[in-house]
Structures are given as structure tokens and as C-alpha cells.
């Protein structure tokens, strides 16, 4: 099991992202890809930590997000 602590994202920012997602703002992007881009995750040094998120879509992306991030 990975002992790395989850990164935190504010609930308001996450809800704003989901609202934009549901409005179709991120056309032609997978959910994980849109999340990665929206939160500028390319800026994180440890990209291995995010493995699989960018490629994930739908329920798989939501599971990856909840595994990697704590929504507060």
C-alpha cells in the first residue's frame, strides 16, 4: 500500500470543476485528463504519483481522484 499522503483540493474548487465537466466544458477530454489539466497537475514534481490519472475516464477517473486527493 502506498504510504504517501493524499494531496488536498478544496471542495469548492472540486465542485466548480465537476460543474464545468457536467456542462461539457472539457469536450474531447477524458475526465482524468480534464482534472489533470484543470488543476495544473503538470506542475507537480512527482508525476509517478499521478500514474494512470490522465488516461482514466468515467468511474475509473473518479476512483483515481478519490485515491490520490482529499477533497476538503
Q: Is the pLDDT of residue 53 over 80?
A: yes
Cβ count near 55 (within 10 Å): 13
More confident residue, 3 or 71: 71
Contact 54, 46 (CB under 8 A): no
Indicate the pairing of strand 7-9 with strand 69-71: parallel
Predicted model pTM: 0.92
Percent of the chain with pLDDT over 90: 89
Report yes or no: 62 and 31 within 8 Å, Cβ to Cβ.
Answer: yes
For residue 3, pLDDT over 90 is answered with no
For residue 20, what pLDDT band results from cuts at 50, 70 and 90? very high
Average pLDDT over residues 45-67: 95
pLDDT of residue 4: 77
Amino acid at each position: 500500500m502506498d504510504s504517501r499522503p493524499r494531496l488536498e483540493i478544496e471542495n469548492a474548487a472540486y465542485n466548480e470543476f465537476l460543474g464545468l465537466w457536467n456542462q461539457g466544458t472539457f469536450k474531447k477530454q477524458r475526465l482524468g485528463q480534464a482534472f489533470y489539466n484543470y488543476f495544473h497537475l503538470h506542475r507537480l514534481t512527482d508525476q509517478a504519483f499521478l500514474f494512470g490519472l490522465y488516461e482514466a475516464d468515467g468511474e475509473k477517473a473518479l476512483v483515481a481522484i478519490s485515491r490520490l486527493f482529499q477533497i476538503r
